[in-house]
Amino acid sequence: MAIADDVSFDTVNKIVSRSGSPSSTVYSVNALYSYVMDYFDELGLMDDTVPMSAQTPTSYTMISGWYIQEELTQFLDGGAIQTSGYLDEIHVLTLDGTYTNAVAGDIGKQVTDDSSEIGALLDYNNTAQKWFIRVGSSTVIADNSVMAITAGTGAGDASGDSVTGEAVFANPYTLGALEGTPAIYIYQNGSPITSWWSDGPFDILLKVAEGGSDIDSKTITVTTRTWTDTYSTFEITLTTAGQNAVPLGTQDDLNNTNTEADVQDWAAANIGGDGTTYQIDIDFEFSSPFQYDIGDGNGAQDYNVQIDCNGQTLDKVYEVCKWATRDGATGEKLETESDSNTINGEAYRYAKASYAEVTASPLGTFAGGKFFGARGVYFTNLHGDDAQNFQLIDANGVARFPPNYQAFTVGGVESGDRVAVFLAEAGAVKKDQYSLNGANALNTITVSSSIPADTPTTGTIIVVDDDSSETSYAYSSYSGSDFTVSISASVYSGTETAYVPYILEQASGTSVSETTTIYVSDRSVICRVRKKGILPFVTTGNYTSTGYAATAIRTTDSIVT
């Protein structure tokens, strides 16, 4: 069908609309304009005003008081339309009370305000209960006016005064690589817009101003969140004229492969899940943020979003996070900005607008077996295997990394072997690892520097006295610069040195490990394994971000008896 079959003009009421039985063809605004120009150049219409003007190939204006019905704008693309002449001419009225839907036959009929005819009905939106009336003056229709249509159907009461002013139909269009043909949805002023566009990339006209006022400053949020794909969201403030590109990009999400139904079973009821398999949950706190110490030595930090992993691995948690924010996640189960400010999961973008948005998955992404939490997100009840499989950004925007627990391990030993790993310097045991700090207090040995996190939580501190004699003390804990030992006060004056083996124990199996140590920086170490009956074994190496492992070579001592 040609555009002439799909667009009609009401020269009496100055309405451009879809024809009675239109096709679903979408025309460019330029095509509409061209048709308008062609239609109104006929001799029989020379007494009518021209409805449209063009400023650029993608910017057009409804002029001379002509009204374009909103339904028609849903079948246009490729340009924006603004109006010039709506002010003090066309009024927008929202109705309430016992609302009776207007019908197509009401168009052009007189609207009555408390039984007085005030102008023709140009358009209506029964969902929003809005009428568009050609009043032809600045006189508003007062709140609570009883509205009806002469010899028509629609009726209701005015909900507030009518407004008059220009309208803007902006023209957003998407670009970028999308996985498949995803559904793309728009939130405007906090509410979803019922889509009339097809799945996949779109090019649409969207009303961003009405009655002379911008709708949410002409800002919209365009989102696509298709299950098993990465998500994409773009917030844009649309312009009055021309086109507005909305960049979106999605791809197959290799970490999101379970079915929605399965993942729904993993999610707690609090976020809309069934919770029948697991109870992975999400909670929010803004006025009194959650406090969480990741163990990086910087103490507890603020977080706004707490994800209870329910002891499940982070790959499952990630899918629940995606499920909670997927297209179709409604019911206002998530919160943003402030306590109890609930929104639909499909509209959730961040804990706070000031936080950097993670569009691919708004609660955090998952890659290489590691969950990268969005700002303000942290985890509780992690699976045991995930102690280091995540990275956070606290509410203050500081990246937080879980402590890098890295073990010292010596293998190839037998039960009874004596095993030691010491900090080394120039291939020898570094016995001045610490300097003592003043006379020791009762049951405390204080060193002059902070004890690094790669120190075993319990172990042995060996004090080297001024005469180089050494005394070992088992410590039960340490904090700051203090080792807790069993010692009388003032045994040492503070001139002594001390060192702490990473391993100093007798093997009870085939290997010896120290797993409480947190990697701080590379350390040169020396490892010794001794047992009468084998030749003393010694090797040097480095403790790195992946730990330290040595394998002893047990060579029988053929001499000793």
Partner 1 sequence: MAITFDKLTKVIEIESPAIEVTIQDLVNAIRDWQDELDNIETPNILSAAGKEALGGGVSVGVTMTLLNGWKVAFQARAGPEYVQCTVSGGNLVSEDESNPIYPTAFTQIVVTASSSATTSGLFFLNSFSISSKLFFDM
- For 263-407, strand residue ranges (E) read 281-284, 290-292, 301-303, 305-308, 334-335, 342-343, 364-367, 370-375, 377-380, 390-393, 399-400
**Which one of 62-70, 133-141, 358-366, 414-422 is the stretch in contact with partner 1 (CB under 8 A)?**
414-422
532 near partner 1, rule: CB under 8 A: yes
Question: What SS3 state is found at 133?
Answer: strand
Contact 181, 199 (CB under 8 A): yes
> Alpha-carbon dihedral of residues 49, 50, 55, 59, nearest 10 degrees?
120
Measure the CA–CA gap between 28 and 493, rounded to whole angstroms: 89
Kindly tell me which residue out of 238, 497, 528, 552 binds partner 1, with binding defined by CB under 8 A.
528
User: What are 550's strand-pairing partners?
Assistant: 410
Binding to partner 1 in span 422-441, by CB under 8 A = 422, 428-429, 431
533 near partner 1, rule: CB under 8 A: yes
Q: How many residues bind partner 1 (CB under 8 A)?
A: 28
Which strand (E) or helix (H) includes residue 188? strand 185-188
**Which one of 28-36, 46-54, 277-285, 526-534 is the stretch in contact with partner 1 (CB under 8 A)?**
526-534
In the complex, minimum distance from the CB of residue 441 to partner 1, in angstroms, rounded to a whole number: 25
User: What are 334's strand-pairing partners?
Assistant: 343
Which strand (E) or helix (H) includes residue 524? strand 523-530
Q: Which is nearer to partner 1, 288 or 469 (CB)?
A: 469
Task: Kindly write out the interface string for residues 445-464 of this chain, putting x where it contacts partner 1 by CB under 8 A and - elsewhere.
Answer: -----------------x--
Kindly tell me which residue out of 315, 457, 505, 539 binds partner 1, with binding defined by CB under 8 A.
505
In the complex, minimum distance from the CB of residue 273 to partner 1, in angstroms, rounded to a whole number: 54
Kindly tell me which residue out of 207, 383, 530, 554 binds partner 1, with binding defined by CB under 8 A.
530
Kindly tell me which residue out of 115, 469, 488, 521 binds partner 1, with binding defined by CB under 8 A.
469
Measure the CA–CA gap between 333 and 346, rounded to whole angstroms: 10
Query: Which residues have C-beta within 8 Å of that of residue 34, sequence separation ≥ 6?
Result: none
- For 270-344, strand residue ranges (E) read 281-284, 290-292, 301-303, 305-308, 334-335, 342-343
Measure the CA–CA gap between 214 and 84, rounded to whole angstroms: 15
In the complex, minimum distance from the CB of residue 462 to partner 1, in angstroms, rounded to a whole number: 7
556 near partner 1, rule: CB under 8 A: no
467 near partner 1, rule: CB under 8 A: yes
Kindly tell me which residue out of 501, 512, 513, 552 binds partner 1, with binding defined by CB under 8 A.
501
414 near partner 1, rule: CB under 8 A: no
Contact 378, 303 (CB under 8 A): yes
1 near partner 1, rule: CB under 8 A: no
504 near partner 1, rule: CB under 8 A: yes
Contact 259, 249 (CB under 8 A): no
Which strand (E) or helix (H) includes residue 246? strand 243-247
In the complex, minimum distance from the CB of residue 329 to partner 1, in angstroms, rounded to a whole number: 60
In the complex, minimum distance from the CB of residue 334 to partner 1, in angstroms, rounded to a whole number: 56
536 near partner 1, rule: CB under 8 A: yes
Residues that bind partner 1 (CB under 8 A): 418, 420, 422, 428-429, 431, 462, 467-470, 472, 501, 504-506, 528, 530-533, 536, 538, 557-561
